Structure 1
Amino acid sequence: MTPERISEKMSSISHTEYDLPHLNNKEHIIDALTNAKDIWNRDRKMIKQDLNKDKFPAYLVDNADRFKDFIA
């Protein structure tokens, strides 16, 4: 998903306290994604999980190519 699309989603779904210019901009979104930070600057760290059937639904694993815009 592109930073622009993420920004659009943030504007449409986030609580108003999170739809702020310093959070909802391309540079911040790219930084958050690149450095595994929470996009809303909450005290959380994102971790990359291996896509396997032990942790994810078989349908997602078997059809990963269909969801490539949403999973890394």
Structure 2
Amino acid sequence: MALSHKAKKRWSLLILLVGIPLYVLVVMGVMGFVYDTYGQPPFLVELAIYVGLGVLWAIPLKRVFMGVGQADPNDPPQD
């Protein structure tokens, strides 16, 4: 099911304002668990975890964000 351009804009705004802050809290919880369980990991391991979790949220949401910044393709051209 394809989303309309207007629906994509609404979903992307909701994701950015609500979803990403919630995801940040989840990542903080995961990293707190890692620190409590294993102690502070080596720098490169910690960097890999943060980079991996920082990119992980975008993979399933790529289709929602594609084309949101462009004009609606269904609107008539403005002259």
Which structure has greater helix proportion?
Answer: 2
Q: Which has the higher contact order (CA 8 A, sep 6+)?
A: 2
Would the TM-score normalized by the shorter structure come out above 0.5? no
Normalised TM-score (structure 2): 0.29
Q: Which has the larger radius of gyration?
A: 2
Normalised TM-score (structure 1): 0.31
